Amino acid sequence: MAERQKLLEIKNLKQYFNSGKINEVKAVDNVTFDIYKGETLGLVGESGCGKSTTGRTIIRLYNATGGEVLFNGVNVHGKKNHAQLKDFNRKMQMIFQDPYASLNPRLKVADVIAEGIDIHGLAKSKKERMEQVYTLLETVGLNREHANRYPHEFSGGQRQRIGIARALAVQPEFIIADEPISALDVSIQAQVVNLMKKLQKEKELTYLFIAHDLSMVKYISDRIGVMYFGKLVELAPAEELYRNPLHPYTQSLLSAIPLPDPISERTRARKSYNPSVHNYAENEPVEFREVTPGHFVLCSEKEFNQI
Ligand SMILES: Nc1ncnc2c1ncn2[C@@H]1O[C@H](COP(=O)(O)OP(=O)(O)O)[C@@H](O)[C@H]1O
Ligand SMILES: [Mg+2]
């Protein structure tokens, strides 16, 4: 297999809110992982564990408290000129959880989608701008007649398609999808995931796909990272993570996935996670260690030796 190319390298990333104050929150605490070109990295963990903050810090919506983010080898948070900043802003896009809240209700769909085209000067004429909008609408499974309507005229799934078209408009390389399907009906979720998969192939996109549980990420992710209280506790190829979860928190998340069969669902054992199981000695170093190639887990040396 050819050497995989790293699109992003996230190194010891920290995002502390209210740093040094009594209400300090270590939303992202020393998180390290790479994202390879063309892959989907799923990031899961319960609400409040720091997934969105990780995404927002990577994409530079927040300055990092510490650590580094390299995009194609260039430090995202380092000093840059105007052209470099604009380049980052174009190549890294975000799709949000709530398609209702993330689209400006006063703008027609054409103008929602064309916002990035205008900012980055990607169309030479009004006609070319509209042609791009029409193509984008068709790419995401809508049609050109939708261009003149307003966001409130669409269903949740259609609005998420508009959000995807808006992100695609600037020809990005990397898209952070922050719980893009959590607000949608279950019946619509698979359609949006399938659309994202199709677009990934066609346009060689790289995704960071954020979700709060492990049920849907399975279908889209090549690798999955699990976060707990600001820390990345496990990272592995998707199949490996489901087959061989090593961190007790990952095991508890997996046991929370509902089973399709109602009888096994009623009797399935849910495993809860209690951090005190680790029983670390004071100052015992707990590190992100590679257990088998590509399978990392946050553990002490003693735990590592017991795996
Ligand atoms: N702008 C902010 N100011 C202060 N605290 C924040 C801010 N954004 C998020 N947090 C806190 O950081 C932690 C992680 O939040 P978030 O990244 O939104 O988690 P998730 O996306 O996993 O639900 C939470 O405790 C949250 O309350
Ligand atoms: Mg979030």
Ligand 2 center–CA 127 separation, angstroms = 38
Q: What is the DSSP string of 48-88?
A: TSSHHHHHHHHTTSS--SEEEEEETTEETTS---HHHHHHH
Ligand 2 center–CA 238 separation, angstroms = 21
Q: What is the pLDDT of residues 162-220, one digit of tens each?
A: 999 999 999 999 999 999 999 898 889 999 999 999 999 999 999 999 998 787 898 89
Ligand 1 near 25 CB (within 6 A): yes
Ligand 2 center–CA 298 separation, angstroms = 22
Alpha helices in the chain (DSSP H): 51-58, 82-91, 109-119, 126-139, 156-168, 186-203, 214-220, 238-243, 248-255, 262-267, 301-306
3-state DSSP call for residue 278?
Answer: helix
3-state DSSP call for residue 125?
Answer: coil
Query: In order along the chain (307 residues), what is the average pLDDT of each group of 10 residues?
Result: 85 95 96 98 97 97 96 92 92 88 91 96 97 98 96 94 97 97 90 96 97 86 98 97 96 86 80 90 94 97 93
What are the domain boundaries of the chain? 6-306
Report the pLDDT value the prediction gives residue 2, as an integer from 0 to 100.
58
Whole-angstrom CA distances from 174 to 45, 95, 139 are: 21, 11, 18
Report the pLDDT value the prediction gives residue 267, as an integer from 0 to 100.
80
DSSP state of 102: S
Cross-sheet strand order for the sheet of 66-71: 25-36, 6-17, 66-71, 74-75
Ligand 1 near 223 CB (within 6 A): no
Architecture per CATH, 6-306:
3-Layer(aba) Sandwich (3.40)
Specify the pTM: 0.95
Ligand 1 center–CA 57 separation, angstroms = 12
Summary mean pLDDT of the chain: 94
Measured from the alpha carbon of residue 48, the closest ligand is: 1
Q: What is the pLDDT of residues 62-87, one digit of tens each?
A: 999 999 999 999 999 988 889 989 99
Report the pLDDT value the prediction gives residue 34, as an integer from 0 to 100.
98
Ligand 1 near 17 CB (within 6 A): yes
